[in-house]
Amino acid sequence: MLFALREGDAVNEHSRPNQGAASSPEVRTEALEDLLIEKGLIDKARVDALIERFEHDLGPLVGAKLIARSWIDPEFKTRLLADADQVLQDEGIGGAEIEHVEVKANQPSIHNLVVCTLCSCYPWALLGLPPSWYKSSEYRARAVREPRSLLRQMGLDLSEEVEIRVWDSSSETRFLVLPERPAGSDNMDLEALASLVTRDAMIGVAKATNP
């Protein structure tokens, strides 16, 4: 069954990608971290702080605010599409140390979809960490091979006339989709507009939510 495979369903030693020394990933991670601390390569408090940042400070609201602003401000939209890195720098959006970001705008005749076919590259600074399905082999394969059918299965039925452009992320470049502004949102302010921009819309597996 498609997408039935989810990480974390049942953790046991047989599920390791390579059958090395048999031990659970919990224990192995604990041992690995302790060894690295002992060797002075990492500091526990710093790892705590990094996890905290990725889990709580970086999330899709960061990206959603950029999208909402570009709906309101055409000049900002032009800058975001031309040089997202500069915009992120100007806006003081951190966490982009290993990312070059490009923003791709949906149009009535063009729909953009983001995938990382080889692993799980993702615009962390703008969306936080990727959902589990983004990392699944099914999504990675089908996004390129049959994006229209994949999107339909995920609840987005695009007309045959709409061209789907699939952007394969890499360690050099991460992509963010700029979804179209939904009808009926004319009088909404930035904050209200941002609430229409879901993570899935910025990956390209959904449209922005209707108000």
Partner 1 sequence: MTGVDVLDGSPASPPRDNGEIVFEAPWQSRAFGVVISLVEDAFFSWEEFRTQLIVVIEEWDAQDDGDRPTWHYYECWLEALERVLQTRSHFKGRELDDLAAAYLDRPHNHDH
Residues 71-90 that bind partner 1 (CB under 8 A): none
Nearest approach in angstroms of CB 96 to partner 1 is: 12
Using rule CB under 8 A, residue 179 touches partner 1? no
Instruction: Determine whether 153 is exposed, middle or buried from the number of CB atoms within 10 Å of its CB (0-12, 13-18, 19+).
Output: middle
Cα distance from N-terminal residue to C-terminal residue, the chain: 34
- Tokens representing residue 145 in the block: 């091979």
Question: Looking at 23, 119, 149, 171, which residue is catalytic?
Answer: 119
Residue closer to partner 1 by CB (options 39, 189) is 39
Please say if 120 is a catalytic residue.
yes
Q: Which is nearer to partner 1, 82 or 141 (CB)?
A: 141
Distance CA 19, CA 178 (A): 42
Among residues 70, 116, 136, 169, the one annotated as catalytic is 116
Q: What is the x/- site pattern for partner 1, positions 9-48, by CB under 8 A?
A: xxx--xxxxx-xx-xxxxxxxxxxxxxx--x-xxx--xxx
Using the contact rule CB under 8 A, the part of the chain among 49-57, 79-87, 159-167, 176-184 near partner 1 is 49-57
Which residue number, 78 or 89, has a Cβ lying nearer to partner 1?
Answer: 89
- Binding status of residue 194 toward partner 1 by CB under 8 A: yes
Residue where the block lists tokens 């039935």: 4
User: Which 99-138 positions form the footprint of partner 1 (CB under 8 A)?
Assistant: 118-121, 127-133, 135-137
Asked if residues 204 and 177 have their Cβ atoms less than 8 Å apart, the reply is: yes
Q: Taking contact as CB under 8 A, which single stretch among the options 50-58, 71-79, 102-110, 160-168 is the one that binds partner 1?
A: 50-58
Structure tokens at 205: 């597996």
- 1 three-class SS: coil
* Cβ contact 100:130 at 8 Å: no
Residues 6+ apart with CB under 8 A from 35: none
Beta bridge partners of 112: 165
Is 24 an annotated catalytic residue?
A: no
Q: Which is nearer to partner 1, 21 or 75 (CB)?
A: 21
| Catalytic residue set | 116, 119-121
